[in-house]
Amino acid sequence: MKNLFYAFIVLSIVSCASLKKSNQPQLADKPLFRDPIYDGAADPVIVYNQKTNKWVMFYTNRRAKGEGYDGVTWVHGTRIGIAESKDGAKWTYADTANINYRNTDYTHWAPEVIENNGIYHMYLTYVPGIFTDWQHPRYILHLTSKDMFDWKFESKLNLAKDKVIDACVYPLPGGGWRMWYNNENDGKSVYYADSKDLYNWTDKGKALATRGEGPKVFKWKDKYWMVVDMWRGLGIYSSNDLLKWTKQPENILEKPGTGVDDGVIGGHPDVVVRGDKAYIYYFTHPGKTPENKGKDGFEQRRSSIQVAELKFENGVITCDRNAPVYLNLNLTN
């Protein structure tokens, strides 16, 4: 009995130590994630799955692997990829999203996914074909799911034009929801629309008279923030009312980093706020360096997902992409 008692004590100590370790922030991988199918992961969005108790990353998948793709057909012709993580620091490939809206030739881009009352809502950029150039329609679909893997088509949104991409949805403080998206027919400026129920949307016109895409809105440090991919790093805007936006002088993720696959500008991000901390998930094209200008091979097409911690200093957001990132998205402090 004494031996069993000691064995129980040792086992309890080991279990407590393991539990404590599992709840500690973990060093994030660098790069954070590469898609094993096409090696073209981009445009990440991070959402917690309440049924599996895992963090889920949805991402655009581009056909970086392979040859014989004319023009930009390699950026077309794929569905949305899914990766999973217990803590947001270590990710593994899980599946492809089963989105029941597909023609013979189709392209799925830039998903936005939110949860409301146990239902997951996806706002997906849909391209009705596989094309060699960028001069074709694209629009935003609304889909719903209860498990994050199987998605039901709800509607094609009636927004500003027939060439809109990159939805971002955020709850309004007085109730209802606001969507920001990129209107490519108006100089790639950012537009917005409002909804009371996530199903019916009313377009409101231009939100930002600036060129950019992939807007992401979040609240942190008692302000609303919008991050916009400006193809020279990420522009940062602040607001007190989600209507008037002020740009801070410096972009983030503009200067190349020193980490693996991080020596280029950062693109199309998501931001996850946990308590006082905020983490930016973004993607890079590691081979698109100045010395490779004009090249268009696998190294220039492949992409990696990265993560960095945001900092708030003297009223502006900064980001040291070279600093190691220790995180556990399950912790709120």
Q: pLDDT tens across 147-160, in order?
A: 999 999 999 999 99
Q: Are 198 and 143 in contact (CB under 8 A)?
A: no
Judged against a pLDDT cut of 50, whether residue 15 lies above it is answered with: no
State the CATH class of domain 26-327: mainly beta
- Cβ burial of 204 (10 Å; 0-12, 13-18, 19+) is middle
Q: For the chain, what percent of residues have pLDDT higher than 90? A: 89
Judged against a pLDDT cut of 70, whether residue 26 lies above it is answered with: yes
Could you tell me if residue 109 is left (phi over 0), alpha (psi between -120 and 50 degrees) or otherwise beta? beta
Judged against a pLDDT cut of 50, whether residue 10 lies above it is answered with: no
Could you tell me if residue 175 is left (phi over 0), alpha (psi between -120 and 50 degrees) or otherwise beta? left
Domain boundaries defined on the chain: 26-327
Judged against a pLDDT cut of 70, whether residue 18 lies above it is answered with: no
Q: What confidence tier does 315 reach under pLDDT thresholds 50, 70, 90? A: very high
Residue 332 pLDDT: 87
Judged against a pLDDT cut of 90, whether residue 1 lies above it is answered with: no
Cα torsion through 92, 231, 277, 238, rounded to 10: -150
Beta strands in 105-176 (DSSP E): 107-116, 119-127, 139-145, 150-156, 164-171
Q: Give per-residue pLDDT as tens, 211-228.
A: 999 999 999 999 999 999
More confident: 182 or 16: 182
Q: Give per-residue pLDDT as tens, 99-143.
A: 989 888 999 999 999 999 999 999 999 999 999 999 999 999 999
Q: How far apart are the first and last CA of the chain?
A: 42
Q: Are 91 and 83 in contact (CB under 8 A)?
A: yes
208, amino acid identity: L
User: What string of H, E and C letters represents the secondary structure of 228-266?
Assistant: EECCCCEEEEEECCCCCCEECCCCECCCCCCCCCCCCCC
Q: Are 32 and 304 in contact (CB under 8 A)?
A: yes
Judged against a pLDDT cut of 70, whether residue 253 lies above it is answered with: yes
Q: In degrees rounded to 5, what are phi and psi of residue 74?
A: -65, -20
The DSSP result for 280-322, as a single string, is EEEEE-TT--GGGTT--SHHHH-BEEEEEEEEEETTEEEE-TT
